[in-house]
A and B are shown apart, each in its own frame.
Chain A
Amino acid sequence: MSGGSQALLWRGLVAAGLIAAVSAFGLSANNYLLQAGTTLAMSAVLCLAWNVVGGFMGYPSFATAAFFGLGAYIGGIVQNQDGPMALAWIAAAAGGMIFAALLGSILLGLRGHYFAIGTIAVVEVMREIANNWEQLTGGAIGMNIPILAGSPRAAGLFFYFAMWMLVVIAFAATALIANSKFGFGLRCIRQNENAAKMVGIDVFRFKVAAFVISGLIVSTAGAVYASMVAFIEPKDVFNVLLSIEVPVMVMLGGAGTVVGPLVGAALYVVLRELVWVNFINFHSAILGIIIIAVIYLVPKGVLREFHAVIRSKLGARPVGLGKG
């Protein structure tokens, strides 16, 4: 992890290369692949956001679906009031921030399993509220959102680039946090919260801040999703399964690293597509087997295992725990 302008140049080139690759893919692929690429981007955004709370800070949050749904509905409601899409997305981000601040102050006092269970409960309660508060959300019937005008291809490209833009933002945020005092503080909290308190870290503020950053990114993703699919229902956007898949993806890639969420999301989404298309009756079972295999074979995440292999091949002795 050396500083220095050479490493920075190298990273800049890699980033530019990736951006070029993603753009090229988008412009050349057919609509289905475009959609798949957008879904991949969305998963990446959710993973990067979750990583802040679950990876860096070590708090097992299952609240992803709560923020996702919140953002989707805020965005949808704004658009249905004839608000422009950009406004809808900003409103969703703001809503996510406020909700995260409130929820965080209440729930972040809990630890471990209790925190996890609390966040699952929030998803369930939000879903039922959306189901029953008809005047606002349309209830169980769902909400139609104005469709973006233009050909399917144009719309597809728009959302593809919008989502990947979100990925860039989320990634930048993650990278900044990782290298800052804030990130260091989060890692201290993960290691030993009481000790962190004792060395003077304002643990409560840090926790809420992490939760807010995570929540606002996820809410924005939800709003983009809502604009994209043009029809949302409570059981669809407040889906606990989403909350469970995201940590699995991050774990696959390497929780607590900067690039881990991206790698994990990519691997998981590709695997899931392969399995789903080819094994119509057994896909959940096979997904289950994949998850089990991940836990047994690469529990620290693909990235760290890869690093370890590369290091040992290069003859270097593994030094400490490496990054993160």
Chain B
Amino acid sequence: MARRLGKFASVNLAGAVLLLGSTAVTLAADPIRIGAPLSLTGSLADEGSKEQQGLDMCVDAVNAKGGVKVGNEQRKVEAVKYDYQSETGRAVQIVQRLLTVDKVDFLFAPYGSGDTKATAVQAERYAIPMIATSAASDAVYDQKQKNLFGILFPSKAMAEIEVKFYKARMPQAKKIAVFALNSLFPKAIAGEVRTFAAKEGFDVVFDGLYSPGTMDFANVLTQIKAANPDWFYVTGYIQELILIRRQMDSLGMSVPIVTMTAGAAYPEFEQNLGALSNNVTSNAWWHPSATYKDSFIYGDALEYTKAFKAKYKKEPTYLEAAATAGCEVLLESVERAGSASPDAVRKMLASERFDTFYGPIKFGPNGQNEINSPMILQIQNGKYIVLDPQDVKTGEFKPGVPPR
């Protein structure tokens, strides 16, 4: 008797509670709702909170100017957020909930290439457009999906620009060492750099991988030091990069060009390393000093940066900016289509060009932004200097890590 009660009751309880939860939400006014799974706890908590900030910047700005003009009416924007705890399974569950219970109009992809790919499956199933603001590997977009739109242009383009840049600045550099974190994006971009560098005549003297959770790089660095590279290209997330730079220093390594990807572009990298970050180069999909103009919100990159700083007391990186731009592009599509229906908006997203403070965005046939505007950065004396593109650069490349 107890058994039957237990099981029956709990199943009904679950149903009742979840139904209650969903009705509470739909009682609100009729805004345009963007469903956002965010990794606010767990291993991606740092990145998740950055994405949240970027999203909020867009929603607040649009609501401040009265909302989105949909045909004849003005509709406000609302972000429906859940924490997926950096776990893919949860992210998938949340997207399911956003689609069937909260009935959101559009979706924001979770952080990173892996989770984006996993949840894109559902967006496709339900035919709801999903904007990905943190996935750059073309492996994410290879499933011929119609509803996934990625703000970040392909990492391959980034790799090519970087190789060409350094080859031009330092023609005598011949040997490159590549060291990558074994995770979708860091591994993909390292592979692309390696392939392209080899094509351009570089000699790949070291090519290795490391797992997350590695606490000591001394041995690998010892090997790399022995190979005497001119260019050390290392990828990973911020923690490992900090450790690698520190251990390079304690081993007395001196390399003309050191590029660290994904993580080195965040101000925390420089804050944690202090003087050791000097002359480390990196790359980004955007930087506050870009001169892009925007007619939908914020006016230009400078205004955006100022507003961001006022609200969050720190400088925005490409991650927050991409999140803002992603939301912006979605809402602009609604305005241009004059409707919030998924089909109309999807058509707009697939065909239109958007000029935002983040840069020009036009989605290619596979859903990824095909306008490439990579920025090459270098930390000089605690400041991030833009080295490329030439029309927005703020300084010149300085070789030597540590500086000579």
Residues of A participating in the B interface, judged by any CB pair closer than 8 Å: 14, 17-18, 21-22, 25, 29-33, 35-37, 39-40, 128, 131-132, 139-142, 144, 147, 152, 155, 229-231, 233, 235-236, 239, 241, 259, 262-263, 266-267, 269-270, 273-274, 276-278, 280-281, 283-284, 302-303, 306-307, 310
B92 and chain A: residue at smallest CB distance: A229
Known: A30-B101, A306-B2. 19 other contacts (CB 8 A): A25-B15, A32-B101, A35-B93, A35-B96, A132-B182, A140-B182, A140-B184, A141-B184, A144-B143, A147-B125, A229-B118, A230-B121, A231-B118, A259-B7, A263-B6, A270-B13, A284-B41, A303-B6, A307-B2
List 14 interface pairs A-B (beta carbons < 8 Å), by A numbering.
A32-B99, A33-B19, A33-B100, A36-B18, A37-B11, A140-B184, A141-B184, A152-B126, A231-B121, A233-B114, A236-B88, A259-B6, A263-B10, A306-B2
Give bound CA distance, A310 to B1, whole Å: 10
Contacts of B124 in A (CB 8 A): 147
Which interface residue of A32, A147, A229, A259 has the most chain B CB atoms within 10 A? Answer: A32
Residues in chain B near residue A278, CB distance under 8 A: 21
B89 within 8 A of A: yes
With a cutoff of 8 Å between Cβ atoms, the chain A residues found around residue B122 in the complex are 152
Contact of A147 among B4, B18, B121 (CB under 8 A): B121
Contact for B8 among A18, A31, A284, A307, CB less than 8 A: A18
Given contacts A144-B143, A233-B88, contact A18 B81 (CB under 8 A): no
Q: Which residues of B contact A306 (CB under 8 A)?
A: 2, 6
From A140, A274, A280, contact of B183 by CB (8 A): A140
Question: By the criterion CB–CB under 8 Å, are B10 and A266 in contact?
Answer: yes
Residues of A within 8 A of B139 (CB): 141
Q: Would A142 and B114 count as touching, CB distance under 8 A? A: yes
Q: How far is the CB of B63 from chain A (nearest CB, A)?
A: 21
Per a CB cutoff under 8 Å, which of A40, A142, A229, A235 touches B14? A40
B87 touches A236 (CB 8 A): yes
Interface assignment of B271: CB less than 8 Å from any CB of chain A: no
Query: Do A29 and B41 form a contact, CB below 8 Å, given A140-B187, A259-B3, A281-B83?
Result: no
CB distance B96 to A18 under 8 Å? no
Q: Which 4 A-B pairs have the closest CB atoms?
A: A32-B100, A266-B10, A31-B100, A236-B88
Kindly state the separation between the CA atoms of A29 and B101 in the bound complex, as whole angstroms: 11
Interface residues on B, range: 35 or more
B81 lies within 8 A of A142 (CB) = no
Q: Is B401 at the interface (CB under 8 A from chain A)? A: no
A22-B126 Cα distance, complex, nearest whole Å? 25
Tell me the B residues contacting A by CB distance below 8 Å: 2-4, 6-8, 10-11, 13-15, 17-19, 21, 40-41, 81-83, 85, 87-89, 92-93, 96-97, 99-101, 113-114, 117-118, 121-122, 124-126, 139, 143, 182-184, 187-188, 209, 211
A14 to B187 alpha-carbon distance, docked (Å): 54
Query: Judging by beta carbons under 8 Å apart, are A29 and B15 in contact?
Result: yes
Quote the shortest CB–CB distance from B249 to chain A (angstroms): 28
A-B contact count (CB 8 A): 140
Measured CA separation A40–B281 after assembly (Å): 49
Closest-by-CB residue of B relative to A274 is B17
> Contact at A139–B182, with CB atoms within 8 Å?
yes
- B3: chain A residues within 8 A (beta carbon): 14, 259, 262-263, 303
Min CB distance B197 to A, Å, is: 21
Contacts of A241 in B (CB 8 A): 87
Residues of A within 8 A of B18 (CB): 32-33, 36, 273, 277
Q: Which residues of A contact B92 (CB under 8 A)?
A: 229
Contact B6 A14 (CB under 8 A): no
Q: Which residue of B lies closest to A132 (CB)?
A: B182
| Whole-angstrom CA separation of A270 from B15 in the bound complex | 9
CB distance A131 to B118 under 8 Å?
no
- The answer to whether A18 and B184 have CB atoms under 8 Å apart is no
What residues on A are CB-neighbors of B97 within 8 Å? Answer: 32, 35
Distance (whole angstroms) from the CB of A130 to the closest CB of chain B = 11
Say whether B6 contacts A302, CB under 8 Å.
yes
Q: Is the CB of B117 within 8 A of A231?
A: yes
- Residues on the A chain within 8 Å of B88, using CB: 233, 235-236
Question: Is B4 in contact with A17, judged by CB distance below 8 angstroms?
Answer: yes
